[in-house]
Amino acid sequence: MIYPILEVIGLVNRFGTQLVHEGLNMEVREDEVFGIVGGSGTGKSVLLRSILGLQRPQAGIIRIDGRDITKMTTSQLYEVKARYGVTFQQGALYSALTVRQNVQLPMIEHVVMEPEARDELAMLKIRLAGLPADAAEKYPSQLSGGMIKRAALARALALDPRLLFLDEPTSGLDPISAAEFDELILYLQKELRLTVVMITHDLDTIFRTCNRVGVIVDRHMEVDTLEGIVNNPHPWIQAYFHGERARTRLERHGT
């Protein structure tokens, strides 16, 4: 049986009496950009944390490359973690390390490599993320918001994952930087044949980059193509894609 690259079946997450996910299903296909949308407090971050293996769900199956990570031991998870890359909302760069050292950290952890090769490969990733070469020796506190996002992306790409998770990749960026970042993600997705899963609120980003969108409503997920989801009758989805803010974008992107 051929499994999709990422598959979530019947996910249940509960905190005390509060039910966050109730039988959530989603499936991410190879080489697509999958957007996850949802109102505040609908459990987007909980979903991501579950998929990354940072917390165990109460029930459900999460398969990455066909292997169920909810049943894995810590050492098995360790191997899976080398196969995907993640960027966090605030960058989560290690503040005591330079950008180059940040990018090298996953390499040191998972791969046997000569220091010179590691330096050059790190530079390759830094350039790939569209950072100037002199950014490599800077500390995170010396970077602008856009550069932090790119440094985080470079770190996520350190081990050449096939699967890339982005948590709010364009939040806190000005529209021009956000557009540049979207372009970069599309370019890398095409060139590296990445499968990208992103949580985002940015309608521009959704229309520019996503092939399919999953919206978390009523504790489960509505998944459809971009065209399909825009016409979904659910009131929250209607409000989201047809609100005042969204209408101009719909016209602009011609959907």
Partner 1 sequence: MLEIRRSDRGLELELTGEWRALRFGALDAALTTLDLGGARRVEISTNRLEVLDLSGAWLLHQFIKCTEAVGVEVTFKGGPPDQLRLVDQTLKGQIPVCTQQRPRVPLSLVDEIELPALRSLTLLGQHAVLYVRDLVSDLAFLGRMSVTAIRAITSWKRLRPISIARHVYDTGITAIPIVSLIAFLISVIIAYMSAQQLRNFGATVFVVDLVTIGVLRELGVLLTSIIVAGRSGSAFAAELGSMKLNEEVDALYATGVDPFEALILPRVFGLVIALPLLTIIADVIGLTGGALLCRFLLNMPLTQYVTRVQESITATTFWVGIVKAPIFAMLIAMAGCYRGMQVRDSSRELGRLTTLAVVQAIFLVIFADAVFAVLFLEMGI
Q: Please identify, using beta-carbon distances, which residue of 88 and 94 lies nearer to partner 1.
A: 94
Residue that is written with structure tokens 């992107």 in the block: 253
Q: Which two tokens stand for residue 101?
A: 């050292």
Residue 52 CB, shortest distance to partner 1, in Å, is 18
Largest CA distance in the chain: 56
Query: Rounded to an integer, what distance in angstroms lies between the CA atom of residue 43 and that of residue 21?
Result: 7
Residue 70 CB, shortest distance to partner 1, in Å, is 23
Q: Please identify, using beta-carbon distances, which residue of 1 and 176 lies nearer to partner 1.
A: 176
> With left for phi above 0 and alpha for psi between -120 and 50, is residue 130 left, alpha or beta?
left
Residue 203 CB, shortest distance to partner 1, in Å, is 21
Measured CA distances, 141 to 166, 171, 187 (Å): 21, 18, 27
Query: Rounded to an integer, what distance in angstroms lies between the CA atom of residue 15 and that of residue 18?
Result: 5
Residue 124 CB, shortest distance to partner 1, in Å, is 6
Q: Please identify, using beta-carbon distances, which residue of 95 and 225 lies nearer to partner 1.
A: 95
Q: Please identify, using beta-carbon distances, which residue of 6 and 237 lies nearer to partner 1.
A: 6
Buried b (16+ CB within 10 A) or exposed e, 48-69: bbbbbbeeebeebebbbeeeeb
Residue 114 CB, shortest distance to partner 1, in Å, is 7
Residue 181 CA from chain centroid, whole number: 13
Q: Please identify, using beta-carbon distances, which residue of 53 and 106 lies nearer to partner 1.
A: 106
Residue 236 CB, shortest distance to partner 1, in Å, is 31
Which residues make up the interface to partner 1 (CB under 8 A)?
A: 82-83, 94-96, 107, 110-114, 117, 120-121, 124-125, 127-132, 139-147, 150, 157-160, 174, 176-177, 180, 183-184, 187, 191-192
Query: Rounded to an integer, what distance in angstroms lies between the CA atom of residue 144 and that of residue 150?
Result: 10
Q: Please identify, using beta-carbon distances, which residue of 37 and 143 lies nearer to partner 1.
A: 143
